[in-house]
Chains A and B, each alone.
Chain A
């Protein structure tokens, strides 16, 4: 499909803003999931600011699309999107993971407007999404359900129970997205628990599989649109990404899965943001 340069640039700006919001939440000394939040930031920007029907002023609107962060530890990127849409005040960003804040360490639907389920215990989000998709279908709703999975998370057996089940029920209002960054909590997925032939695996279970560069906005939008128009069953987007994307000191490193940055790294990160802003305007 064709997307105007204006749309693409606007979404690139949004993705930069999302990453800058992530930085705002984890100043030096504060631990946070930088790596897995920034790897999926471009996809999240496309979802929240282009593809999904959502309204920050009406978070419970029954017609909204739903996003379930199955890799709940990367919720910082979701907060970074939700705040831009006005789901909660900007001051909350600095209070993330504090006793009086609205933003918990993992997604909490009771505390945070815009969070659709409780996740954090890995492997459950796709099943929850399937249930949501089935429920919406019973109501003849046009709403869609999006699920973000980590590639390390795919080691959880329950993910494959849901992968098996969803095509059986022919849910075409469900899109799963795998943040295929190749790095998990303590090392690469190759070293910890390699899951080969990912594309073939999902295909074999009956999914419509789309493999993309998860940092290429055109490819992201195109895949999301293709998933939307596929009517035979669920779609999965396997998004090749880079853990810690846009922050060179963190790129591809397990260390920044959940870490705090040094003062120097933090300054570098901000200069990366500034550089990206200049590039997108140029």
Chain B
């Protein structure tokens, strides 16, 4: 049961809960357990918790071996290291073999605001979604974090979970049914559809409110499974609208925007992408400064909506 609005704490607690009955769940950590919250699992089940030290490459391949032995390994680190540092290990040992390894990229996007560009992931979605067999999940709040963690255990195959370091406002209905691949309409509207993921879901919902005052009706859809993308649902949500906007806390290259542009390439709809413009992050004293600086506020989404509407 969720005890807070923290996505990472919820992730850790959910695995502790699942690990009670499912003895195959094992966790691997590269010395960031108090941030990724894998330490909760380590405290509960020390015999199934492998502290691998600061050696992410070894950790990823060891997880592949554990999966070969029938275990359900979760590897944990910051998103930059979990994906980038161990990229070839994930590609070769895990993805090619289609093994049941779960990768938790914590402190994703700019959410580790103080630590700066080496620790902020603007490329993790790109790296993971290009790999065949890989599922890419991006929860927008702690409710989704819990639902996704459960689904990751229930479904086989390599999966990447991208987790925000900071508490996010709950926008998901805890009673709603969840499955991997699900797209959720958060706000109804018919002029423009905004496909958003992660923290940009709440920003886009706020943008819809701002635009309502200008008589622009915006539909907001939470795309929390970036891969496999439910193209049918995507097209359905495009019915009747004049334009599309995508929104993500990730580079505009290779992320949700890229995936949606490919999926909708046959549609004659203008598409605008809100994201980080081909640049690395930077340190700041709080998260809000970065969201403002990189154009990831509600007003930035609203601006993009106005701009795509003016395209003829």
Contacts and interface: CB of A to CB of B under 8 A. Distances in A.
Interface in A234-270: none
Contacts of B55: 161, 164-165
Contacts of B73: 131
B62 A116 contact: no
Interface stretch (B91-99, B190-198, B296-304): B91-99
Interface residues of A, number: 30
A132 B93 CA distance: 12
Contact of A131 (B53, B66, B98): B66
Given A158-B61, A165-B55, A127 B68 contact: no
Contacts of B96: 108, 118
A132 B69 CA distance: 5
B47 interface: yes
Contact of A165 (B53, B63, B67, B93): B53
Interface string A156-167: 011001101100
A120 interface: yes
B93 A134 contact: no
Nearest to A109: B97
Contacts of A130: 58, 62, 65
A118 B97 contact: yes
A135 B28 CA distance: 12
Interface string B63-99: 1111111110100000000000000110111001110
B58 A161 contact: yes
A133 B92 CA distance: 19
A108 B92 CA distance: 10
B92 A118 contact: yes
Contacts of A134: 50, 62, 65-66, 69
B66 A132 contact: yes
B52 to A, nearest CB: 6
A128 interface: yes
A134 B65 CA distance: 8
Contact of B65 (A110, A117, A139): A117
A138 B63 contact: no
A181 interface: no
Contacts of B110: none
Interface string A130-173: 11111110110000000000000000011001101100010000
Contacts of A131: 61-69, 73
Given A117-B93, A138-B71, A161-B58, A128 B88 contact: no
B57 interface: yes
A138 B89 contact: no
B48 interface: yes
A135 B89 contact: no
A16 to B, nearest CB: 32
Given A127-B62, A161-B57, A132 B98 contact: no
Interface in B89-137: 89, 91-93, 96-98
6 contacts: A118-B93, A127-B60, A128-B65, A135-B67, A158-B61, A165-B55
Given A127-B65, A135-B65, 11 more contacts: A117-B64, A119-B92, A121-B91, A124-B57, A127-B61, A128-B62, A128-B64, A130-B65, A132-B68, A138-B69, A139-B69
8 tightest Cβ-Cβ pairs between the two chains A and B: A131-B65, A135-B69, A127-B61, A161-B58, A131-B62, A132-B65, A121-B92, A118-B97
